[in-house]
Each structure stands twice: as C-alpha cells, then as structure tokens.
Amino acid sequence: MIAVLASCQDDQIEQYEPLTGPKPDPTVSWLEYLKSYGDLKTYIDRAASPDFKLGAGILLPEFIAQGDKYNLYLANFDQITLGNEMKHDNIVQADGTLNLTNVSNLISAAKAVGMSVYGHTLVWHSQQRASYLNSLIAPTIIDQPAGSNLLTNGSFEDDMTGWGQWGGGSTNEIVTGGAPDGDKMLKITVPNAGDTWSVQLRTPTVSTIVGHQYEVSFSIKSDEPGGLRLSIGGDGQMSNRWPQHKDAISGSKDNILATSSTWQQIVFSTNTIASGDPWVATGESVQFDLDLGQIAGVYYIDNVIVVDLDEEVDKNLLPAGGFESGNLAADGWQTKNPGAGIEITTEEVRTGKYAVKLTAGASSVNDWDLQLGAPSIPVIKGNQYEISFYIKSNVDGKGRLSFGSSMSNNYPYVSGAREFTTGKDWTKVIYSPETIGADWATAADALQIDFDLGTVPNVTYYIDDVTVLEVTPDAKSSILRAAAATIVIEKTPEEKKEIITAELEKWIKGIMEVAGDYVKDWDVVNEPMDDGKPNELKTTPATPGASEFYWQDYLGKEYAATATTIARKYASNLRLFINDYNLEYSLDKCKGLIDFVKYTDDVCQSMGVKGVDGIGTQMHLSVTENRNNIEEMFKLLAATGKLIKITELDMGLGGNPAITTPDATQDLYKAQADLYQFVVQKYFELIPAAQRAGITLWSPIDSPDTPYTWRRNEPIGLWNLEFVRKPAYGGFANGLAGRDISANP
C-alpha cells in the first residue's frame, strides 16, 4: 500500500511543466518518459554493492507524521538522515541534561518500517549547546567581601606565621604558580583517609568583638575529588560553634563540602550557616579550623579571609542591584522602553539567583529604544558617586548610561565615555569621577540611572550586580572599599581539556545508550577542515555564532580520535565517518581531510582502538560544477581504502544569485538531470564495490520559498513541491542503473 501511495503521488507527470522559459507542445508532455521509471531503490545492484544505502534527508516531524513525504521516502530510499534532531543543541539542554525523547521516537518509528537511520552528527562546531559548554570552562569569579581582612597573611604571600597544621602524617608547603590571589598558595598533602579532624589547618588568632557577626571565606581545589569542613578551634567561641552541623552547609558534622580540580570559593557566614541564627562572636578572639582528614589527597588553599560583617564599610546605595527579589517592579525598576522584552531571568546569572534580561527589537536603532530605569537612589547633593555593573550579551552589543537632570554632567557620554561595549563574557563597567570627569557630582537629592541599550537591533543583554557607592574624596568608606575585589581565575588548557572531554563522553554515551543498538552509521566528526587553510582544522573565529563551539580548540587535533574511542566504548559494530563539504570544489581540502583521517587512525591505533571507517563528501552542487574535479575527488577518496559515502547531495541550477524555481527552464532541468546522472555513475565507476557506503539526497524534493529553508526556493530535488518527478529523477535513476532507463525500461 505504501508503494502504491508513493507512486500515486509522483506519477502525476502531466501536471508538471516549467513555470517560465520554453514551453512544451501542449499536446505532448515533455516528461512523459518518466512514467516508465520505477522507484529509485529498485535500480540498486545489491549483489554488486551489498553495503550501499540510498538515503534521504528529512525532518523528524515529517517522518513521524507519516504523510505523503513519508510514503514517498519509504518507496524510494533505504535510509534517512535527520536534519536537526540528532545534533547536540537539539538534545543537550541549558543545564547540560540530555533530552533524548525525539531520538527514541525516531528509533521506534524507523524500526517499525525497517528504515535505516544515519546518525548526524556526534561532533560538530555548529548547532551546539555552546552557552552551556562555555559556562563549564568560564573563569571562576571570586568576589572578595567588602571590609578589612582580619587575617594579615591569608594569601600566604609571606609565610605561615601564626598558622597551624598537623595530623595524619600530612605535610604542607607554600608553592607558586596558579594561585587565584597573588603568586603563592598553601599545598597540603593528606596521605591517608581518616576522621575529618585527623588533619587540620588552623588560622592565626583573630581578634573579635563580642556580638559582631563574622564571615570566613577561602579558595580551595584538590587534585582529585576531596572534601573538608570548617570548625571553631582554640579557645575562641562563636554562638554556633560547629557551623558544619547546619543543613545549609553540609547537613551534619560527618558530611563534608566537596572539592574538585577547579577552584571554588567556600563561604561561611550568617547567611550561609543558618538563617535567623546569627553566627556571632561570644569572645574577644577566635580561631578557625579547616578539617581535611576524611578524604586523602592533595589540597590547595588560598585567599583566606575573615571579615567582621558589622564593620562599617561602603554600603551599596542600590540594594536591588542584584535583582534577588525576582521582581523588577516591586523593587522600583522601570521598563521605560521594553524593546523586545525586559524580564528577570535565571538563564545567565553572575551571582545569586537572578539577573535581568533585556532584548532589543528588530527595528531598534536609538539608544533609548531599549531602556531600563533604576529605582530612585537617595544621595547627597554635590557629592560624587561611582556606578558599576556587570553586563554580557549573546552577540556583540553596546550601550550607555543616562541620568536626566540628576547629575551635574547629565550625559557622561559627551565627556569621552559615550558608550560601553558588550560581548559573550561578563564585563564590569564603571562610571566614576575617574572615568567620566571630576565634575561628575550629584545635582539633586536623588539619583536616577537609565540603561540605554537600543542602538544595536536583535541583541539580548544580561545585567547583574549593579552597585552605587559614594566616592567623595576623603570619605572613610573609599579606603575600606579597596578590600572589596573580584578575583578572576582562568582555567588552564589542561583543566579545560579535562572538562570538555568529560562532557563529550557524557553526550556520546547518552545518545549511544538510546540509538547505538539501531543506528550504526554516524558522522563522528562533521566539517573539521578550514576552508582558507585546507590542511588545518577550523578554529574559533573572532565572533563565533551563538550555537558554535569548536571542540578541537580544547581537545586538540586528536579530538576525532577521542570521539571515535568514546563512541566505540558505548556501542558495537559502528561505522564512523568524517564528513566535510566542498571536497569536489577544493581538491586541496579533500587531500587535507584525507590526511586528517589518517592522523586520526594513527592516534586510534596507538590507543588500541579501531579508527575511522569512512569518509563522507557532502556535494552541494550546481549544474556548472567542474566535472573533472568530481572525478578526481572520487579517485582520491577511493585510494584511501575507506568506505565512501555521499552524505548530502543536492544540486542547484547555478547563477549568482541562485536561479530559483520560477526562473527555471527546460534546458536547465535537463542539465541538472545530466549532472545528477554523471555524479551517480562516476561514484559507482570510481568507488570500488567494497567501499560503497551509499548516497544520501539531502533534499529529494525542491526547496520551498519559506524562510530558514535550505537553498530557499531552488529546484534542487528529484521531485517538485507537488511530489511530481522531474528530469533529475530520470538522471539519478539512470546513474543508479548504469544506463538510460527511458530508452529500455
């Protein structure tokens, strides 16, 4: 029944003729000969090419719906390739979890009709969940508290005077290189696991004020997963003597805080230990213990800070600057011009739970076309103030601040600070007398700040941690404010490689667990070679797209071998291909890809793993293609001994701009049919039988005139949009059969 339905669709020959150009005799259809052709896959010599698969590209909803296109594909093809649904960005969610529901549905539907599935793709630079991957390797940002550090040598830049460390055969030394704060850090080696308190690092004695609240913070990492807790040492007392008992920290005194090879900041304070149960000093001095005995390993500690939270330091005059209430309007923020949207968000946050997200509309052009107003801030007329905030954007953007009449210099951008620029990383922007001009003082008793972000259309911005401080000269707070700082710790290349390798394994393992038993052919790596430097891999451009992530920049040239090894670890009998485009256009690129495949095989062999099975050539062509190059490409690929697959074949009619369906002529359609026949025939002629993995038509049906469509409105397929056979159908079938079927069906 399926075959009959498909044939009914594509046998409507008499309905089809070119819309423009020479018209056929109205009494004789110029396409009548196509009625004699059978379904495409009937022309494959299975005995001569037993591993050959005839495939087609399709979207999952089209396949699941089981409509006309589905029936047409079942009748003519052995295999399908999904355009999007098996790619990283479609499966990996914002939090890194994998949603494999669509893949599972595909497998079930394909199994039911015996349709083979080609996996596209395991590793690519495009259509990746780049925001999540980049967040894993982003710098660690440590905000040091405002106020005076009561430990004079908490960063170990001088020595360990006043510190104590003992127990469990542990050792310590001050080392250099890689410290988050300064040049030096403390290294503690715990040789054996024991009780938590069996190895302790004790701070020098800290003078305290009875009744004041305190915060202890420090940076820590370990070579392997480890852990610690904090306790109160010496004779000093706190109202909560054992903060590690509190659920907000670790649950019980036997539970510990986890450490890893990435620096993290651990904070013990009134807020983190127990809400409503202030952690206050009950004596005039105290010491703190870092208990490290429970898990053996090597620990690194730096930047230990003890702060009196009741010390008078600079207070942010904009307490709603962190957006932590989760309600803009309730905090007095004003969406003066919302553009395409202003809202509280959790998707990109620098600190805390929330940030604000602002999106410029498609027609945004003026600064004020996207404008967020801060709450009114009480100030002292004539005093000077500093405004700072953190901002990032999905693509490059820019903005400014404006102030109405609340500043003596209302519009600081006329004094040399017209605009700030934004990018994909959090950037701190500061407006102060130093950056704007010393005459920038308040002209009123209230300060009104507007964020103007409308200059560049279609940009999404994120703002967090807005701070307003008084910086009037000689103010006491300006001295104490120096204690507040942000430490940015870049991950090393080795750390990034470790993180991204683990993420690659999580991704491949997840999809193999669902698809590995049924999907045996995969693009293990897609489009690796650089067009401008065809012997080198692509690398991250200056302005990567929002969904671009170049795995090779972090995993090295061996990234394809790494992916191959992981895939074979989680599924058996796989046929893995490295796939690229323009191999027929640039023979140098074809040679570069072949060299890369050989390199990958060598790396795999050194690890005792089977290398790459095949090479995929996409072949997005036009009728003006250089036929000699096509032949030479097939010869080069055949010489590798690998399986060879045409993975994404389609063909336009040429022209610049490309010739679209309304402008197609009979002659162009005949030229298209002729080149389709040439490509298929040369594939079978030049690729040995044992290496023929298959041919996939990327768009068997002409492309519609709709946005975001591949080769929009080009007649690239074998069928038109009404599923009527075109001359290209005959040419392609002739190529499969190795002869002109119309002359002798």
For every residue of 415-460, DSSP letters joined together read GTT--EEE-SS-EEEEESHHHH-TT-BBSSSEE--EEE--SSTT-E
Burial tier of 356 (Cβ tally within 10 Å: 0-12, 13-18, 19+) = buried
Is 95 inside a domain boundary?
A: no
More confident residue, 1 or 684: 684
Query: Cα separation of 277 and 239, whole Å?
Result: 9
Give the pLDDT of residue 315. 73
Whether residue 395 sits in one domain with residue 339: yes
Query: Cα separation of 320 and 469, whole Å?
Result: 13
What is the rounded average pLDDT of the residues 12-28?
A: 35
Average pLDDT, the chain: 87
- CA triple 147-152-156, angle to 5 deg: 115
Report the 3 state secondary structure along 540-601.
CCCCCCCCCCCCHHHHCCCHHHHHHHHHHHHCCCCEEEEEECCCCCCHHHHHHHHHHHHHHH
| Distances, alpha carbon 622 to alpha carbons 463, 625, 669, in Å | 47, 6, 11
| Distances, alpha carbon 396 to alpha carbons 85, 393, 462, in Å | 28, 6, 12
Lowest mean pLDDT of 77-86, 295-304, 427-436, 721-730, name the range: 427-436
- CA-based nearest residue to 300, from 259, 268, 256: 259
Give the pLDDT of residue 731. 96
pLDDT, one tens digit per residue, over 119-155 is 999 999 999 999 999 999 988 777 666 667 888 888 8
Whether residue 340 sits in one domain with residue 238: no
587-606 and 627-638 helices, crossing angle to 10°:
10
Burial tier of 614 (Cβ tally within 10 Å: 0-12, 13-18, 19+) = buried
Give the pLDDT of residue 217. 87
Q: In what order do the strands lie in the sheet with 420-422?
A: 334-337, 371-373, 450-452, 397-402, 420-422
Question: Does pLDDT of 735 surpass 70?
Answer: yes
Domain residues for the domain of 264 are 140-311
Lowest mean pLDDT of 43-57, 60-74, 476-490, name the range: 476-490
Q: Residue 405 is part of a domain; what is its CATH number?
A: 2.60.120.260
Query: Cα separation of 646 and 620, whole Å?
Result: 10
Residue 703 DSSP label? P
Give the pLDDT of residue 146. 65
Best mean pLDDT range from 6-20, 185-199, 464-478, 485-499: 185-199
Q: How many CB atoms are closer than 10 A to CB 695?
A: 28
Identify the H or E element spanning 6.
helix 2-10
Is 662 inside a domain boundary?
A: no
Give the pLDDT of residue 177. 83
Whether residue 298 sits in one domain with residue 153: yes
Whether residue 290 sits in one domain with residue 179: yes
Is 500 inside a domain boundary?
A: no
Res. 2 pLDDT band, cuts 50 70 90: very low
Report the 3 state secondary structure along 460-480.
EEEEEEEEEEECCCCCHHHHH
- CA-based nearest residue to 697, from 633, 627, 631, 647: 647
Backbone angles phi and psi of 81, in degrees to 5? -125, 125
Is 616 inside a domain boundary?
A: no
Whether residue 288 sits in one domain with residue 190: yes
Look at the chain and report how many structural domains it folds into.
2
What is the rounded average pLDDT of the residues 590-610?
A: 98
> Cis peptide leading into 121, omega within 30 of 0?
yes
Q: Is 546 within 8 Å of 557 (Cβ atoms)?
A: no
Backbone angles phi and psi of 717, in degrees to 5? -100, -175
Is 144 inside a domain boundary?
A: yes
Whether residue 456 sits in one domain with residue 354: yes
Question: Does pLDDT of 476 surpass 60?
Answer: no
Residues near 52 by Cβ (< 8 Å), separated by ≥ 6? 44, 46, 692, 693, 694, 695
Locate the DSSP E strands across 128-170: 140-144, 164-166
- CA-based nearest residue to 268, from 420, 109, 145, 125: 145
Question: What percentage of residues in the chain have a pLDDT greater than 70?
Answer: 87
Whether residue 277 sits in one domain with residue 172: yes
Res. 32 pLDDT band, cuts 50 70 90: confident
pLDDT, one tens digit per residue, over 80-131 is 999 899 999 999 999 999 999 999 999 999 999 999 999 999 999 999 999 9
Q: Which of 410, 443, 472 is where one domain is finished?
A: 472
| Distances, alpha carbon 8 to alpha carbons 106, 127, 702, in Å | 26, 37, 18
Whether residue 364 sits in one domain with residue 306: no
Q: Which of 311, 333, 365 is where one domain is finished?
A: 311
Q: Is 669 within 8 Å of 732 (Cβ atoms)?
A: no
What is the rounded average pLDDT of the residues 12-37?
A: 52
Using only C-alpha atoms, what is the Rg of the chain?
Answer: 33
Which tokens hold the place of 580? 């690229």
Indicate the residue type of 542: A
Q: Which of 311, 335, 354 is where one domain is finished?
A: 311
Which tokens hold the place of 358? 């602002």
Whether residue 441 sits in one domain with residue 414: yes
Indicate the residue type of 391: I
Q: Is 428 within 8 Å of 467 (Cβ atoms)?
A: no
| Distances, alpha carbon 174 to alpha carbons 159, 161, 177, in Å | 8, 12, 10
Look-up: residue for tokens 């805080």? 257
Instruction: Give the three-class secondary structure for 198.
Output: helix
Whether residue 298 sits in one domain with residue 349: no
Whether residue 343 sits in one domain with residue 253: no
Question: Does pLDDT of 342 surpass 90?
Answer: yes
Is 630 inside a domain boundary?
A: no
Is 121 inside a domain boundary?
A: no
Backbone angles phi and psi of 56, in degrees to 5? -145, 145
pLDDT, one tens digit per residue, over 643-666 is 999 999 999 999 999 999 999 999
Whether residue 351 sits in one domain with residue 400: yes
Is 63 inside a domain boundary?
A: no
pLDDT, one tens digit per residue, over 352-373 is 889 999 999 999 999 999 999 9
Which tokens hold the place of 596? 């890369």
pTM over 0.85: no
Query: Cα separation of 305 and 323, whole Å?
Result: 26
Which tokens hold the place of 550? 């170049």
